Structure 1
Amino acid sequence: MPAETPTILATSGGFRWGGRTMFEVGPLTELALDLTGVTGRAPKVCFVPTACGDDARLTRDLYEMARVRGLEASHLQLFTMPNHDDIAAHLLDQDLIWVWGGSVAGLLAMWRLHGVDAAMRAAWEAGVVLTGVSAGSICWHVGGPTDSFGPDLRPIDNGLALLPYSNGVHYDAEEQRRPLLQRCVADGTLPDGFATDDGAGVLYRGTAFAGAYAEKPNAGAYAVRREGDRAVETPLEITRL
């Protein structure tokens, strides 16, 4: 059941620590599930843990989370070989694709090697809702600050660019991220964009900003735009989930 328009919910959250399981679905991911429009059956969700090297323990924990929530779960792995003969067909058959965090640089390299970049675009254009956390947020954009290369953050600018913006994640939680995003927007290394505190997400319909949401009481989201030779940060109105 495709969404009415191409839809992305890019987040710095979407899960919480569980009781009997490692993770539980958080309010931001519940919003993403609602955006699929699925009723009367279990939503089909594909987990994509590429950015964590397809860690087997993480994948197991995600399946446990899905079981508790009542989702029809699958996953896409690329190490040591893809687990689907036709990656594009599998992604097109989903209601929601949820991309986990980790190394966005590694994720993008592996996706391009295996054609996942084109498959993700096709799924997005077909109305499969895309969501993700951290690296799974930056990847949909032109780029943003990342720790993929080490503890001193660097900008990455070769994202999928389904969305023509920069993206800052963990904006309130990691001290290098806010100033680096602002510096990169100010000097033109990255385009204008959007940033999310931990527990916040930004919704796009097509390539247009469509709202900011938060699953934590004080989490915010921001527009960051270049004005002259500086970056101007504007808090966005937040819908609390």
Structure 2
Amino acid sequence: MHAETGYVGRNDMKIIAIGGGGFTHDAHPELDDFCLSATARGNPRLAFIGAASGDDPQKTARFNARFADVAETLVHLPMTLPAAQLARSLEQVDLVYVGGGDTEKMVAAWRREGWDKVLSEACRSGVILAGVSAGAVCWFDSFLFSSGKGAMRPLPGLGLIPIGACPHYSSETDRRAALHAAVGAQTMPASIAIDDGVAVAFENGLPTGICGAQAGAGAYVVRRGPQGVTEEYLSIG
């Protein structure tokens, strides 16, 4: 993927993308542990953003319950925060976890309120960005979005990782055909597709680690080549 995009890296950015699972889905706690291990701290300072689900209080409660015994501090960052206050809050955080929901509305709100720039700068400054579903794919150049109505379609992300992305690859069976079609039509670039129960860690835009918490689940690189669209298991190293 590195050679295909010509990407040379952007500071020391660490991002973890979860295809499905973790505390918000009440499944695969190993994925949460994988995120915690990225901080290299015994008691990291964690923040939760639930913008994609309209700051659903149930998901915030699950965040607090899951990490209460392992974190130094826990903070919920609601969309009511002005960008300047968000920036100050992120100065005291090691990892931000973004929950799932409506990716299109979330990214639009971030851009409208200036959160996109704040989160990108925080990542460049060393804050780890992690998340599931919407919170996984929003960091990429583009992502495959389903509103639940009509066909899936590509949408632009924040561009911190210079490829496309698709979550829930194993559990939502129409995603594979839609992603292959988008990559084939070049409406999405070469993309990573992530099954439920899998998390992929990126550093400076490149995959550096993978956690598989469900048997048979994986992550895949989907790209367009001379022979058409191909799909290969993501291998690290």
Whether the TM-score (by the shorter chain) exceeds 0.5 is yes
Q: State the AA in 1 paired with 2:212.
A: A
> What is the TM-score when the length of structure 2 is the normalising length?
0.87
Structure 1 residue 197: deviation in Å?
Answer: 0.6
Of 115-124 and 6-15, more deviation after overlay is shown by: 6-15
- Larger RCO, structures 1/2 (Cα 8 Å, 6+ apart): 2
Rounded to whole Å, the distance in 1 between the matches of 2:195 and 2:170 is 5
Rounded to whole Å, the distance in 2 between the matches of 1:9 and 1:108 is 17
Alignment RMSD (CA, Å): 2.3
> Could you say if the C-alpha distance between residues 58 and 178 of structure 1 is closer, same or farther in structure 2, counting changes exceeding 3 Å?
same
> What is the TM-score when the length of structure 1 is the normalising length?
0.86
> Could you say if the C-alpha distance between residues 222 and 109 of structure 1 is closer, same or farther in structure 2, counting changes exceeding 3 Å?
same
1:76 aligns with 77
Structure 1 residue 214: deviation in Å?
Answer: 0.9
1:187 aligns with 185
Q: Which runs of 5+ in 2 are unaligned?
A: 1-10
Rounded to whole Å, the distance in 2 between the matches of 1:62 and 1:213 is 20
Q: Which runs of 5+ in 1 are unaligned?
A: none
Share of identical aligned residues, percent?
31
Per-residue Cα deviation, 1:56-97 (whole angstroms, up to 9, x for no partner)? 23222322222244452101111xx22786111212321111
Structure 1 residue 25: deviation in Å?
Answer: 7.5
Structure 1 residue 35: deviation in Å?
Answer: 1.1
Matches within 5 A, 1:21-170: 23=26, 26-39=29-42, 42-70=43-71, 72-78=73-79, 81-82=80-81, 86-148=85-147, 150-170=148-168
Per-residue Cα deviation, 1:5-60 (whole angstroms, up to 9, x for no partner)? 3111111135158xxxx847821221221111224xx2111100000011123222
Structure 1 residue 146: deviation in Å?
Answer: 1.6
> Could you say if the C-alpha distance between residues 221 and 64 of structure 1 is closer, same or farther in structure 2, counting changes exceeding 3 Å?
same
Count residues in correspondence: 227
